[in-house]
Amino acid sequence: GNSVTQMEGPVTLSEEAFLTINCTYTATGYPSLFWYVQYPGEGLQLLLKATKADDKGSNKGFEATYRKETTSFHLEKGSVQVSDSAVYFCALRYNQAGTALIFGKGTTLSVSS
Amino acid sequence: GAVVSQHPSWVICKSGTSVKIECRSLDFQATTMFWYRQFPKQSLMLMATSNEGSKATYEQGVEKDKFLINHASLTLSTLTVTSAHPEDSSFYICSGNGYTFGSGTRLTVV
Tens of pLDDT, residue by residue over A32-61, are: 999 999 998 888 999 999 999 999 999 999
Choose among A34, A41, A106: nearest Cβ to B99.
A34
Choose among A100, A104, A106: nearest Cβ to B34.
A100
User: B66 and B56 in contact (C-beta within 8 Å)?
Assistant: no
Question: What pLDDT is recorded for position A40?
Answer: 85
In angstroms, the CA A17 to CA A110 distance is 11
Chain A residue whose CA is closest to B39 = A105
Choose among A45, A93, A104: nearest Cβ to B98.
A93
Q: Do A100 and B100 touch (CB under 8 A)?
A: no
Pairs of CB atoms within 8 A across A/B: 51
- Mutation to test the B interface, candidates A35, A101, A109, most B Cβ within 10 Å: A101
In angstroms, the CA B73 to CA A100 distance is 19
Which residues from B are below 8 Å from A97, CB to CB? 31-32, 98
In angstroms, the CA A62 to CA A75 distance is 7
What is the percent of chain A with per-residue pLDDT over 90, rounded to a whole number? 82
Could you report the per-residue pLDDT of B66-109, keeping only the tens digit for each? 999 999 888 999 999 999 999 999 999 999 877 789 999 999 99
Per-residue confidence band for B28, with pLDDT thresholds at 50, 70 and 90: confident
Average pLDDT of A2-12? Answer: 91
Window from A28-32, A106-110, B56-60 with minimum mean pLDDT = A28-32
